Amino acid sequence: MKVSIVGSGYVGTTTALCLAELGHETVNVDIDPDVVDGLNSGVLHIHEPGLQKLLDEHLGSRFYATTDYGVVGDTDITFICLPTPSCEDGGLDLSVVLDGARELGKALMSEESHMVVVKSTVLPGSTKEVGRVVLEKSGLRKDSLLLACNPEFLREGTAVYDFMEPDRIVLGGDEEAVENLKQLYRPLIDDGFQVFETDVKTAEMVKYASNSLLATKISFANEVGNICKKLDIDSYEVMDGVGLDKRVERSFLDSGVGFGGSCLPTGERVLVEVDGELKYIPIEKLHSLFIKDCSLKAYSLDLDTGSREFKEITTVTERPYNDVLVEVFTESGRSLKATEDHPFIVQDGGWSVKPAINLSVGDEIPLIGEFPVNPVSIDFLEIIEKHGVEDVLIDVGGEEEDWVPVDEAVGLDMSEKDSCNIKGLGGGVFESPCSLGEDIWMFIGSFINFGDTEQLIDNGMCVFRTMDADNLDPVYEFLNRFEVPYTITPGDKNQLSIENQLAGALLKEFCIGVYGKKIPEQVFQETTDNKKAFLKGIFPNYSGGRGEAQLIIGPELQLLGEQLSLLLESLDIDTTIKRSSGSELKLDFEKTLGSKEVRNDIKISRTERLRIFREKNKNGEENHVDRVVEIDRYTEDVDVHSVEVEDNQSFTASYGIIIHNCFPKDVRALKSKAVEVDEKPDILDAVLKTNQKQPQKIVEMLESKIGELKNKKIAVLGLAFKPGTDDIRESRALPVIKTLKQKNTTIYAHDPKASENMMDVFPDINYEKTPEKALNQADACLILTDWEQYKKLDIDIPCIEGRRLDKCEGLCW
C-alpha cells in the first residue's frame, strides 16, 4: 500500500520506516525543511535504536520525506502523527493536529475519496473533530472519507521493537476502515500478534485507559507497599504472589516508585527553602530532608499570573530508572536532564505544559527571575562558636577596660543591649548582630574569585592573590571599615594576607561548602545593591548595569557557575554560559550574546539572538525565559526523583530553569476529560494523591497497646531495609521513627549494621550497641527488621513485630 505520514517526530518517523519495513511505500510529510532534507540525506533528527538501519535500507526505495502536502493524494492512507501537548488544566492542546488536518484537507480538494488515520494521542471525540476539519477544507462528501483511530504504544528507546513486536494492534473505525488497516498490518497479524477491532471513540479511550491503569497499578502498589512497610511485610513478595493471578499480571506492581515516572535524575539541583533557609541542593538530598520532616518550599511559577513565589513541597519520591533521559540545552548555555515524560513549562503567548519528549528547538522555557527581598544579618557570636574561634573579646560597657573574654561575659546582664562589639586576635572590631552591607558582600565576593581556600580551611588565614592589584580594591573597603590589619606581598601575583580569626570565620560561613567554594544562598534574597556589590567583588570589571554578559567557567567550578547564573538572571543580566578549561571564572561584558565566539558555542545566529533579546526587553519588561537550542536523548541507569508542589505545581531546578511538577500526563488528561463531561474522577484523583500520605498503622497499633506515646521510651530494633545489609534507603524504620519523633517519644535504636547510616538521618535519637540495652531502657518495642539474633531475645515488654519472628504480636498476624 502507499502510505503518507503527517509529522516526523518519534511516532511519525518510526511509523513511516516500520511500515516501509513491512513492505509499504511510505512518505513523511513535515513542514520543517531541515528535517525533510536530513531524512532525504539519510540523517535522522532523532535518536532511536534500529531506526537508522531502517532509513539506510529503505530511503529512496520505500521511503522519502517532503514538505509538500500535495503528495497525500497519491497515497491510499494518511496517518496523522502530530504532537498533542498538555494544557494548563491537564487537557490536550489539539491545535497542531487540527492545523495538520486543515492542510491535509486542502491537499485533498481534487480527490474523490481518502482514508485518514489518527495515530496521535487524543482524547475521545478528537478523531471525529479531525474528520470534520478535513471534510470542511477538502469538500469531500462525508461517505467519501474513511476515518480511523490507530493509537500508538511506542516507548522512546524501544520504539522500533514496540512497533514490530506489539502487545496488541488497536484498530478503531467502521468495517471498511478496519479492514484496510488489517491489510496494512497483515505481516504482523500473520505472525500472530493480536488485533483489537473497535469503533473510533473506544480506540481513543483504550490508549488513555491503558496508560492510566498502569499509573493506577503503580499507585495501588505504592499504597500497599506503604502499608506493608508499617506492617513490616515485604511488599515485593506480596506482589510476586499477587502477580501469579492471570487476572492481575505482575508488571507495574512494584511499590515505592510512585506514579507516572516523570522525574529528574540524580545530579540535578533544586532551589528550595529548608526550614526557612534558602538552599540550592542536589535533588537527591531533597528526599532525605523530606523524610526528616523538614519544612520544604520550592521557588515556583504561577502559570496564571507569571509571578514567582515559594510554595510548599508536598511529596518527594525516588526510585531506580533505566530508560530514556532527555537533556535540554538552551541558548544561554543552561542544561537540564529529565525523564522523557517529565512536563516542561513553555511560553507561547501564555504558559503551557508539554512533556520533554515533545519539546522542540525554539521553545521558550521560564527562568527564576527576581527573588523576593529578604536581607540577612549575621550574629558573630554564633559564627565564632560554630567555627571554634577562641580568644574573642566582647565590649560589655563601652570603655577600653570593659573588653572581656566572651566566655566570661555569659553571666553578665546585657539585656538592654540590642548589639555588642567584639574583637579577636589580629585586631578588627565587629558589631554583632551585623547587617550585611555592600562592603561585606564585596569582601565575600572577592574571596570567591581570588581567595585561597586551603589557607582558610587549614589555618584560618584570609589570603587573596591576583595578577591585577586593582582587583583587591573591594577588600580594602571591608578592612578599613572594620579596622582589620593586613599585609601586602608584591610579586607575579599580588598577595594580600589577613591574620584575623573573625574575618576568617565570616568567610568560612559564607564561602566554603562541602565541595569547596560556594555562592552563599543568602545573597539571592539580598537587595539589588548588595547583589551588585557581591558581583563587583567577584568580577571587578562589573559596572553594576544590566544587559548582556558571558559567564566563563571551568569544569572545576560547575556548581559556582550554576549558582552565579541564578544570581545574574535575578539582576536582569542576560547571561550566556561558556565552558572553559581548568578553574577559570570570568564575567565578560565585551563578548556579548551576539558575538561570534558565543554564537559558535551555542549554535545560534547573531541576528536571531539580538532579536530575542530585544523581544524579551521591549517596553522595559523582562520575561525571564530561555530558548531551547538542542535536545539530546539517551538511555541511562540512574536514580530519579519526583517532586510535588502545592498550588502552582512547579519548581526551580538546575540553572534556575522552572519546570512543572512530576505527573503522569495521561492520567491528568483523562481526569480533565472527566471533569469536562461532568463526571467526578474519584479514582484518578486518588491515583494522583496516593503518594502524599503515609500509613500510620504500626504506630497506631503501639498506641492501642500502651496508650499515649508522649514521653514514652520506645526500643526500635532493626533499622536496615532487610537483614544482612546496612542499606536504610527503603527501610521501614524511616517513616516509623519519623512518626515516633513527632509524638515526642524517646527512642532507643539498635541494628547490627545500619546504625551508623541511620545516624545521618536521625542524629538526635539514642543508638545502643546491643538490643538488650535498648530493651532494658524501654517501655515498649518495635521490631522492624528480622535479624536472626533478635529471635534469641527475651522480651518482657509490649512488642509489635513488623517482620515476622513469631516472638511477639505481629502487625498483620
Query: Catalytic site residue 263?
Result: yes
Q: Which carries the bigger pLDDT value, residue 403 or residue 495?
A: 495
Which residues are CB-neighbours of 347 under 8 A, at least 6 positions away? 364, 365, 366, 623, 625
Q: Is residue 566 part of a domain?
A: yes
> Is 658 strand, coil or helix?
strand
Q: What per-residue confidence (pLDDT) applies to 432?
A: 82
The CATH number for 268's domain is 2.170.16.10
Residue 350: pLDDT above 90? no
Residue 653's pLDDT band (cuts 50, 70, 90): very high
**Among 152, 169, 198, residue at a domain's last position:** 198
pLDDT digits (tens, 9 = 90+) for 302-315: 877 888 889 988 77
- Dihedral, 613, 616, 622, 624 alpha carbons, nearest 10: -80
645 with 605, same domain: the answer is no
Burial class (CB in 10 A: 0-12, 13-18, 19+), 515: exposed
Which of the listed residues 147, 165, 198 is the one where a domain comes to its end? 198
Q: Express each pLDDT in 28-56 by its tens digit.
A: 999 999 999 999 999 988 767 789 999 99
Please tell me whether residues 95 and 160 are part of one structural domain: yes
- Answer yes or no: do 469 and 323 share one domain: no
Could you give the CA distance from residue 298 to residue 128 in angstroms, rounded to a whole number?
42
Enumerate helices (H) and strands (E) in the chain, giving the number of each.
26, 40
Q: Is the pLDDT of residue 563 over 90?
A: no
Q: Are residues 297 and 430 in the same domain?
A: no
Q: Report yes or no: 667 and 215 within 8 Å, Cβ to Cβ.
A: yes
In a domain, 338, yes or no: yes
Measured distance CA(280)–CA(521) in Å, rounded: 7
Same domain, 146 and 13: yes
Which segment of 9-18, 29-38, 161-170, 256-265 scores lowest on mean pLDDT?
256-265
212 domain-assigned: no
For residues 647 and 300, what is the distance between their CA atoms, to the nearest angstrom?
Answer: 9
Higher pLDDT, 137 or 693: 137
Higher pLDDT, 717 or 410: 717
pLDDT at 601: 39
- Mean pLDDT, the chain, whole residue set: 81
Nearest-CA neighbor of 298 among 565, 659, 568, 650? 650
685 falls in which pLDDT band (50, 70, 90)? low
Residue 249, domain member (yes or no):
no
Structural contact between residues 442 and 453, judged by C-beta atoms closer than 8 angstroms = no
Is residue 553 in some structural domain?
yes
Q: How far apart are CA 142 and CA 132, in angstroms?
A: 9
d(CA 772, CA 448): 52
Average of per-residue pLDDT across 14-37: 96
The residue with greater pLDDT, 768 or 594, is 768
Within this chain, do residues 640 and 788 fall inside the same structural domain, yes or no? Answer: no
Question: Per-residue pLDDT for 690 more than 60?
Answer: no
Q: How many CB atoms lie within 10 A of CB 466?
A: 17
CB 150 within 8 A of CB 181: yes
> Looking up cell 527564576, which residue turns up?
368
Q: Do the beta carbons of residue 46 and residue 12 sit within 8 Å?
A: no
Q: What pLDDT was estimated at residue 341?
A: 74
240 backbone φψ class: left, alpha, beta (φ>0; ψ -120 to 50): alpha
Question: 587 with 651, same domain?
Answer: no
Domain end residue (candidates: 517, 536, 571): 517
Least confident of 288-292, 368-372, 597-601: 597-601
Note the residue count of the chain. Answer: 813
Residue 353 lies inside a defined structural domain of this protein: yes
Rounded mean pLDDT, 446-466: 88
Q: Is the domain of 607 the same as that of 650?
A: no
Q: Does residue 605 surpass a pLDDT of 90?
A: no
Least confident of 206-210, 462-466, 772-776: 206-210
- Computed on alpha carbons and rounded to an integer, the radius of gyration of the chain in Å comes to 32
pLDDT-wise least confident of 559-573, 612-626, 761-775: 612-626
Residue 713 pLDDT greater than 90, yes or no? yes
In a domain? residue 714: yes
pLDDT of the residue at 415: 44
Instruction: Kindly state the average pLDDT of the residues 509-531.
Output: 84
What confidence score (pLDDT) does residue 596 get?
A: 32
**Residue 687 belongs to some domain of the structure:** no
Active-site position among 81, 228, 263, 511: 263
- Give the dihedral sign, CA 406/410/415/418: positive
Rounded distance between C-alpha atoms, residue 511 and residue 451, angstroms: 10
CATH of the domain at 498: 3.10.28
Which band of pLDDT confidence, cut at 50, 70 and 90, is reported for residue 327? very high
Can you tell me which residue has the cell 521558550? 364
Region 691-713: mean pLDDT is: 76
Tell me how far CA of residue 722 lies from CA of 134, 416, 727, in angstroms.
60, 57, 8
Identify whether residues 701 and 788 lie together within a single domain.
yes
The pLDDT > 70 percentage for the chain reads: 79
- Are residues 589 and 512 part of one domain? no
Looking at residue 254, its pLDDT comes to 45
Q: What percent of the chain has pLDDT over 90?
A: 32
Is 155 a residue whose pLDDT tops 70? no
- Specify the range with the lowest mean pLDDT, choosing from 80-84, 152-156, 319-323, 606-610: 606-610
pLDDT at 463 over 80: yes
pLDDT score at 431: 84
Alpha helices in 244-334 (DSSP H): 283-291
Residue type, 808: C
The phi, psi pair for 684, rounded to 5°, reads: -65, -40
46/194 same-domain check: yes
C-alpha cell read off for 744: 515526642
Residues 6+ apart with CB under 8 A from 554: 579, 580, 581, 582, 583, 584, 585
Render pLDDT for 166-203 as a digit per residue (tens, 0 to 9): 989 999 999 999 999 999 999 999 999 999 999 999 99
pLDDT for 544-555, tens place per residue?
Answer: 776 678 888 877
Range of the domain at 742: 697-810
The answer on 549 and 500 residing in a single domain is no
Instruction: State the pLDDT at residue 595.
Output: 33
Look up the CATH number of the domain holding residue 128. Answer: 3.40.50.720
So what's the pLDDT on residue 381?
A: 83
**Structurally, how many domains does the chain consist of?**
5
Q: Is the peptide bond before 695 cis (omega within 30 degrees of 0)?
A: no
pTM of full prediction above 0.85: no
What is the 3-state secondary structure of 661-713? CCCCHHHHHHHHHHHHCCCCCHHHHHHHHHHHCCCCHHHHHHHHHHCCCCCCE
